[in-house]
Amino acid sequence: MRNSSLLKEKIVSALENEDFISLTRKIVKKTVYRKRSFLFTQHDLHSPLKKYKVSSRWRVDVFTPQDIPKCRAHFSRYIPDYIDMFHDGLKSYAAYETETNNVVGIIWYVDSDFYDKHYLRCKFAVESHQVLQVAAEISLPYRNTAISVDIMRYAWAYWEEQGKDEVFCYTDVSNAPSLRAQFHLHWEEVGRLIHIHRLFGYQWQKIESYSGERFTHFKKKPRRKTPA
């Protein structure tokens, strides 16, 4: 009875504090139907990334299974996924904080067809000249730094040595900071979106192709020149 009363109080409180239609939409989105769209972008591995001042706050190296304990400070919730990703043959590179040796940034790659069983639960085709940049995490204190660029530069040098020409990735179109960062580093639209639908636990996907540039609003606009 007590639990039932608490539930009623929560429902009444929610109805009093926000619009009923808005509340219904949130419930539907979480439990009934959800759609997410991801943009494919690519970068030429032979085209150098923008250079930034070298920082002594971190060092970049290959991330190995022996380094997993170093993720506990910032990425503990991802550790089970990381173990699985190693088992699936993915390769990873990380930034290690100089002072603590903790992992503060990490990016994963795969150079063959890949099924994302942890996040999107769908398959991505990877051609022989390509490498897929699967996932990236940067700890909160190091966001808005050049740490991700340093990791990518290190990783891309390896993949270029393996004969790869192109790296591509997929990004949630609602993740504006990531898309702005990509376009700032001259990633380009592939002309493809993947829409992932989920209805009562059942999932299906649809690929949409388009021509031209559709996401230029994420690109940094040039500053206006001050009139003389």
**Cα separation of 118 and 110, whole Å?**
15
Closest Cα to residue 150, out of 98, 112, 190? Answer: 98
User: Domains in the chain and their CATH numbers?
Assistant: 34-218 (3.40.630.30)
Looking at residue 34, what is its pLDDT? 87
CA atoms within 13 A on the CB side of 160: 12
Buried b (16+ CB within 10 A) or exposed e, 79-96: eeebeebbeeebbbbbbb
pLDDT tens track for 137-194: 999 999 989 999 999 999 999 999 999 999 999 999 999 999 999 999 999 999 999 9
Whether the per-residue pLDDT at 7 is higher than 60: the answer is: no
Q: What is the pLDDT of residue 202?
A: 86
Nearest Cα neighbor of 148 from 139, 160, 159 is 139
pLDDT band at 9 (very low <50, low <70, confident <90, very high): low
Beta-bridge partner residues of 60: 95
Better-predicted residue by pLDDT, 25 or 38? 38
Number of Cβ atoms within 10 Å of the Cβ of 196:
17
**68-99: pLDDT as tens digits:** 999 999 999 999 999 999 999 999 999 999 99
Q: Look at residue 226 and tell me whether its pLDDT is greater than 70.
A: no
Transcribe 92-131 into DSSP letters: EEEEEETTT--EEEEEEEESS-EEETTTT-EEE---TTEE
Q: How far apart are CA 95 and CA 4, in angstroms?
A: 49
Q: CA-CA distance, 69 to 23, in Å (whole number)?
A: 41
**Tokens 């009934």 found at:** 32
**Contact partners, residue 149, CB within 8 Å, separation at least 6:** 49, 50, 52, 185
**CA–CA separation, 106 and 71 (whole Å):** 9
pLDDT value of residue 50 = 85
- Identify the bridge partners of residue 216 per DSSP, sorted by sequence position: none
Determine the Cα–Cα distance for residues 102 and 46; give it in Å rounded to an integer: 31
Classify the C-alpha dihedral 114-116-121-124 as positive or negative. negative
Q: Which residue has the higher pLDDT, 101 or 52?
A: 101
> Residue 149 CB: number of other CB atoms within 10 A?
16
12 — pLDDT class (breaks 50, 70, 90): low
